[in-house]
Structure 1
Amino acid sequence: MRPTLRQMQYLVAIADTGKFGEAAKLTNVSQPSMSAQIAEMEAQLGAILVERGRQQAFLTPIGAEVVRRARLLLRDAEDLKAVVRADADDLTGRIRLGVLPTIGAYLLPSVTRHLHSEHPDLRLIVREERTIDLERHLHDGLFDTVISTLEDHTDVDHEFLFQEDLWICAAPDDPLAQKTGDIPLAELQGRTLLTLGYGHRLNMIIQSLAEASGAHVNSEYEGTSLDAIRQMAEMSVGIAVLPSLYALTEARRDPDLIVRRINDPRASRQISLIWRSTSPLASRLRLLAAALRETAGTILHKVSSRRRR
């Protein structure tokens, strides 16, 4: 006998959670049944794949290699099912979507309401991750498609969604907050910029803006979210650099929040819907991209129009 797809699914779940109990919950099976299936898989392969600890489960070196290959096989199996079920003229079935955490909360609520109304047979499963993790998980099959920056992904197809300009947010008593209108990049000279940690494309863009303007990035603090760096900026720790969807949405919610657009072509990022070049879901993903693009355009136009009043 050979390992089954279900057994591979169990093993991947253990790799992702590090615990038999959590993996069993994730795959909707009892823990004893999962343990028995993994033991059977090990017997079939003639190798120990999982080291059982008191509270944790650790992959052996051969187990890690089996997991790597199992992810590819499971991805191909999902693609095979998608070929059979796909209706190129409609959005149906399950689509696993990865999204940048700097975008998801500001774009997806409006999109999902529209999609569920227009396409009741669509099931959109969403997970936020760093840019670097979106690339890895797109190609190992965890995601069918991702909302990200195209330059960070290889061997993919895509649809452009929208461009985000970058804005600054400073403490209320900061000279940069005493003015309105766009801010030239040169006005950031000598200032401290706040950004997210390693693995985010936004971090790299802000690093390049700092080099171009003579500013520097705070090396002692890396935010875990846009909310975090905005709050640190409001406490005079530095200048937060924020993308459009976040900056304009938060400025609409908080009339006292001062944000100013950086007037420089380098202070922007292109956002796309991205999928593997071999994906059988391409036709449906282009339909999804159209819905995302329309909603993003509406949001950006609405909040920027209110900002100008």
Structure 2
Amino acid sequence: MRPTLRQMQYLIAVADTGKFGDAARAVNVSQPSLSAQIAEMEASLGVQLIERSRRGAMLTGAGEELVRRARKILREVEDLKAVARFGRRELTGRLRLGVLPTVGPYLLPLATRDLHTRFPDLRLSVREERTVDLDEHLQKGEFDTIISSPIDHENVHHEPLFSERLYVCAPAEDPLTRGEGPVRLKDLKGRALLTLGQGHRLNAIIREVAAASGAEVSSEYEGTSLDAIRLMAEMGAGVAILPSLYALSEARLDRGLNARLIDHPLARREISLIWRDTSPLEVSLRELAAPLRSAAAKLLRHE
């Protein structure tokens, strides 16, 4: 008897969580059902895959190798499903798109009309996630494509969309706000910079900026959104570092926001449309990138 796809999914869940109970919740089944399926898998293969103890579940050598191969098989199954959904070259049906929360709300609304005109039968299913989660779910086949920083993803192909620079936002009475023109790195020396939590590419970039400028990343507050960071900056908790799309979008809505560009190569990030290097949708996804790139250009031309 061969292992089933469901059994492979259950084994991977145990590998990812280290506990049968957590794995069962992750795949939405009961723990006895998951345990029984894995036991059946071990019996059919004639090898122990998991070492069970009170501390949790640990993979054996054979289990680690099987999990590695099972991940590849499940990714290929997702690609097979994509072939079925997009049997023709044109983009039709549901496309699962993952996007950075610092990009999606500002880019996608601008691109909606053009996307609908070019691909009238396409239905985007969009989910916002941190960089690390986007990578995990893309590699698992849970996304068909993502909008993220290509530097953070391996075994992928990508189509560049735009290069985004960073801005500072500080209280009205702060010299950084009152000044004119771009902010230089030396202007940030000794300042507390506000950013999103770990797992976001923006966090890593701002830490590099802090190290180069003599500033520090605030240890008292890590934002869950760009709106929260901006609000904390306006309350005097530190200096917010905001990416272009957000800064320019919000500046249009709030004339009282004085966001100033940071003039340094470190203060930028590259954003691309990204897909697995095994994806059968490459030609279609390169076509999808065009309206996204155009929408970003319309906003960023005001920099």
TM-score by length of 1: 0.80
What per-residue deviation string (whole Å, max 9, x for no partner) do you get for residues 212-258 of structure 1? 22222212222222112111111111111100001111111111111
After TM superposition, the structure 1 = structure 2 runs for residues 102-141 of structure 1, keeping only pairs within 5 Å, are: 102-141=102-141
Question: Equivalents in 1 of 2:169, 2:177: separation in Å?
Answer: 7
Residue of structure 2 equivalent to 1:45: 42
AA aligned to 2:155 is D
Q: How does 1:218-237 map to 2 (within 5 A)?
A: 218-237=218-237
The question of whether the paired residues in 2 share the 8 Å contact of 1:72 and 1:141 is answered with no
The answer to whether residue 160 in structure 2 is matched with residue 163 in structure 1 is: no
Say which of 44, 58, 63 aligns to 1:61: 58
Q: Which amino acid aligns with 1:120?
A: P
Does the CA contact (< 8 Å) of 1:88 and 1:284 recur in 2?
Answer: no
Which amino acid in 2 is paired with 1:177? T
Aligned residue number for residue 265 of structure 1: 265
Give unpaired runs (5+ residues) of structure 1: 25-30, 52-57
- Point out where structure 2 has 5 or more consecutive residues left out of the alignment: none
The residue aligned with 1:198 is 198
CA distance in structure 2 between the partners assigned to 1:276 and 1:116 by the alignment: 24
Over 3 Å counting, the alpha-carbon distance change for 1:23 and 1:120 in structure 2 is farther
Confirm whether residue 5 of structure 1 aligns to residue 5 of structure 2: yes
Give 1:54's aligned residue.
Answer: none
Q: Is the 8 A contact 2:167 2:243 kept in 1?
A: yes
Q: 1:10 to 1:44 in 2, by over 3 A?
A: closer
Q: Say which SS state the counterpart of residue 266 (structure 1) adopts.
A: coil
Q: Secondary structure at the match of 1:171?
A: coil
Partner of 2:179: 179
Shift in alpha-carbon separation, 1:195–1:113, aligned structure 2, 3 A: same
The question of 1:274 aligning with 2:274 is answered yes
TM-score (norm. length: structure 2): 0.81
Q: Which amino acid aligns with 2:127?
A: R
Task: Kindly state the Cα deviation for residue 37 of structure 1 after the two structures are TM-superposed.
Answer: 8.0
Is this contact kept in 2: 1:164–1:269, CA < 8 A?
yes
Query: Identical aligned pairs, as a percentage?
Result: 55
* C-alpha contact 2:183 2:262 (8 A) present in aligned 1: yes
| Residue correspondences, number | 291
Secondary structure of the equivalent of 1:263? coil
Cα offset, 1:150, TM superposition: 1.6
RMSD, matched Cα: 3.2
**In structure 1, C-alpha distance between the alignment counterparts of 2:212 and 2:13, rounded to whole Å:** 45
